[in-house]
């Protein structure tokens, strides 16, 4: 059956058949082999030197990036004509996931393959690509990305760095300051954003050693201490006129579209980090004894282990579902005659909502896991001896870079409303249908099938979002963009629905393949997630409605919300214990 790709955000108003949703059980043999190769490299050559990386031993991270380049790990997105491996999107995600286990090095690595390399690949001229891409692919050249400034973080277009054309028209003269620049200390190539004559936001390529380019000292950071982070200064920094990147005044196209790619890859990186600390938690829970009993036998610890497993399992499928959709949309664009950059960037832009969801969910799953890892380790978790504290510190940045989670929540909802207003998605008709349904008698029939309850709960959860978002848009109209609390509530509802639908597809496939007995623990994961997600959706929906509703209208909407956020009672304690026991028995993440 040919796959019918949903448009970005369309998951809210259309159900997608499980066959159409990619799940991690469908990796190809080649993808599995790439994972093993990447895992071996990161574990044996990077993680084995974690303490040296943390201390920023001179030359170590650049040399490891060079080694990664030799193995082809830096070039999966780069076409063969420029020295790359030209692999599919899923393969690139797998490598990011494995890199995510390494903490600080993951930041350096993902910067190199993402924001460091992709702007030139997708927006550079053919001459620029030929000049820089082979070195970036092999790791001979290291890359950095200079966007943030002291006065412009989330508001990237508020940059103060300027570019002025020299009198002879042969050079651009850059003046300004950038901060929080990853890989700055050892980069050979800097992608820099500046305003031409203080107006046109534009990208430029600046090479290491250019007169007028200087670096600040290494930042003393809370986490990712092993990554290089410096300020970058430009004082009458002259670069050739041909080093303008992309179109004049179109730097925002580079900055924002590259971030979409970075967001779903950050979800994959967070997944790898979460798996790593999960394994550390389980092993310690099996080894550490109190009252002559391994602490993993205690219910409080089993709760933590099961909750980590549930979140990681759900994050895994949501991340790879998003990646596969982007990859397939890229192929559609290529078949239609679009070039390399327009195809992938257009595909990532199409799924900007899903990219934001994966970034938010991934970074918050990672934060949960590193926190509980510290708690399970107790005093040893607070010590620097085992690396538990390092993982805790390293994770925190994930909720900040690639756009803060607050910015990404607002982006997801605003893009959804934009798609609705443009007619790309017929969300308003769906919202009107839901509002009319509230006056009809509810369907009290018992759902059929092994997953009928979850299918109904998912459909109703989508209706809950349409009820809340539709009412908010109708009542507040243009003012909605200023009601950030309401937007945050709707975004959290969207995240739960996208992840729940992805998880349902994954568990149904496992059930259909392995049978009821072997799929038991996965059904437990599904049901506990749905139980909790429905409660969260009810809470966020109520919070949003209370923020703008009033009188009888509010009362009716609250009744409707209650109708759409029901899930049968579930003994979550026993389900969680079964999930935890599987992990404890295998002494690892084995789902």
* Choice among 97, 330, 372, 402 that is catalytic: 402
Token pair 């499980």 is found at 18
Beta carbons within 10 angstroms of residue 268's beta carbon = 28
Across 67-170, the runs of DSSP E, i.e. the strands, are 143-146, 162-165
Q: Pull the structure tokens for residue 361.
A: 């969910």
Percent of the chain that is helix, strand, coil (3-state, to 5): 65, 10, 25
Could you please report the per-residue DSSP string of 329-357?
HHHHHHHTT--HHHHHHHHHHHTHHHHHH
Contact 575, 527 (CB under 8 A): yes
Q: Counting every residue, how long is the chain?
A: 591
Active site (annotated) includes residue 207: no
CA 461, chain centre distance (Å)? 23
- CA dist 31 and 88 (Å) reads 9
Contact 66, 139 (CB under 8 A): yes
Q: Pull the structure tokens for residue 446.
A: 């018992």
Enumerate residues 6+ apart whose C-beta is below 8 A from 303.
576, 580
Shortest CA distance to 301 belongs to which of 219, 378, 365? 378
- CA dist 390 and 201 (Å) reads 38
- To the nearest 10 degrees (0 to 180), the angle between helices 352-377 and 484-514 is 80
- CA dist 381 and 376 (Å) reads 7
Contact 107, 227 (CB under 8 A): yes
- CA dist 47 and 64 (Å) reads 11
Based on its alpha-carbon atoms, the radius of gyration of the chain, rounded to whole angstroms, reads 24
Across 106-170, the runs of DSSP E, i.e. the strands, are 143-146, 162-165
Contact 83, 138 (CB under 8 A): yes
CA 330, chain centre distance (Å)? 18
Contact 258, 119 (CB under 8 A): yes
Enumerate residues 6+ apart whose C-beta is below 8 A from 63.
none
H/E element, 173: strand 171-182
- To the nearest 10 degrees (0 to 180), the angle between helices 104-113 and 89-99 is 160
- CA dist 311 and 308 (Å) reads 5
Beta carbons within 10 angstroms of residue 484's beta carbon = 14
Contact 334, 32 (CB under 8 A): no
What residues act catalytically? Answer: 402
């Amino acid at each position: 059956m040919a796959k019918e790709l949903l448009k970005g955000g369309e998951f809210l108003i259309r159900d997608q058949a499980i066959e159409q949703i990619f799940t991690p059980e469908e990796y190809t043999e080649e993808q599995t082999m790439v994972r093993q190769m990447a895992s071996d490299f990161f574990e044996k050559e990077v993680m084995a030197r974690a303490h040296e990386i943390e201390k920023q031993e001179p030359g170590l991270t650049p040399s490891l990036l060079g080694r990664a380049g030799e193995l082809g790990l830096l070039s999966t997105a780069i076409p063969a004509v420029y020295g790359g491996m030209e692999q599919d999107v899923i393969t690139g995600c797998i490598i990011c996931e494995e890199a995510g286990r390494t903490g600080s090095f993951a930041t350096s690595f993902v910067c190199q393959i993402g924001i460091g390399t992709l702007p030139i690949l997708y927006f550079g001229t053919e001459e620029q690509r030929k000049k820089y891409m082979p070195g970036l692919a092999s790791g001979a050249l290291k890359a950095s990305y200079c966007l943030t400034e002291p006065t412009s973080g989330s508001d990237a277009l508020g940059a103060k760095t300027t570019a002025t054309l020299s009198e002879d028209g042969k050079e651009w003269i850059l003046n300004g300051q950038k901060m929080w620049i990853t890989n700055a200390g050892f980069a050979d190539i800097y992608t820099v954003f500046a305003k031409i004559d203080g107006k046109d936001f534009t990208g430029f390529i600046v090479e290491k050693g250019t007169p007028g380019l200087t670096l600040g000292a290494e930042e003393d950071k809370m986490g990712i201490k092993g990554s290089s982070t410096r300020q970058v200064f430009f004082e009458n920094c002259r670069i050739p006129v041909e080093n303008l990147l992309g179109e004049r005044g179109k730097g925002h196209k580079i900055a924002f579209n590259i971030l979409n790619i970075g967001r779903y890859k950050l979800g994959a990186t967070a997944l790898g980090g979460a798996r790593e600390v999960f394994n550390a938690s389980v092993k310690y829970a099996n080894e550490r004894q109190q009252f002559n009993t391994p602490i993993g036998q205690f219910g409080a610890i089993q709760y933590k282990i099961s909750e980590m497993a549930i979140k990681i399992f759900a994050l895994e499928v949501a991340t790879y579902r998003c990646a596969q959709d982007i990859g397939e949309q890229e192929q559609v664009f290529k078949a239609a005659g679009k070039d390399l950059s327009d195809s992938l960037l257009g595909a990532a832009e199409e799924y900007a909502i899903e990219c934001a969801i994966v970034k938010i969910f991934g970074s918050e799953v990672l934060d949960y896991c590193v926190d509980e890892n510290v708690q399970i380790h107790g005093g040893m978790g607070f010590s620097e001896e085992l690396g538990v504290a390092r993982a805790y510190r390293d994770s925190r940045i994930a909720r900040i870079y690639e756009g803060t989670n607050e910015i990404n929540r607002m982006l997801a909802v605003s893009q959804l409303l934009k798609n609705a207003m443009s007619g790309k998605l017929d969300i308003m008709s769906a919202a009107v249908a839901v509002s009319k349904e509230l006056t009809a008698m509810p369907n009290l029939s018992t759902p059929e099938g092994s997953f009928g309850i979850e299918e109904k709960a998912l459909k109703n959860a989508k209706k809950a979002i349409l009820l809340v978002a539709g009412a908010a848009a109708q009542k507040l109209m243009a003012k909605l963009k200023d009601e950030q609390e309401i937007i945050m509530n709707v975004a959290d509802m969207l995240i739960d629905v996208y992840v729940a639908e992805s998880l349902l597809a994954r568990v149904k496939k496992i059930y259909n393949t392995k049978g009821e007995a072997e799929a038991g623990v996965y059904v437990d994961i599904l049901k506990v997630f749905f139980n909790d997600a429905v409660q969260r959706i009810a809470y966020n929906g109520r919070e949003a409605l209370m923020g703008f509703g009033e009188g009888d209208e509010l009362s009716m909407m609250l009744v409707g919300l209650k109708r759409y956020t029901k899930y049968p009672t579930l003994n979550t304690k026993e389900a969680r214990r079964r999930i935890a026991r599987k992990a404890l028995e295998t002494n690892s993440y084995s789902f």
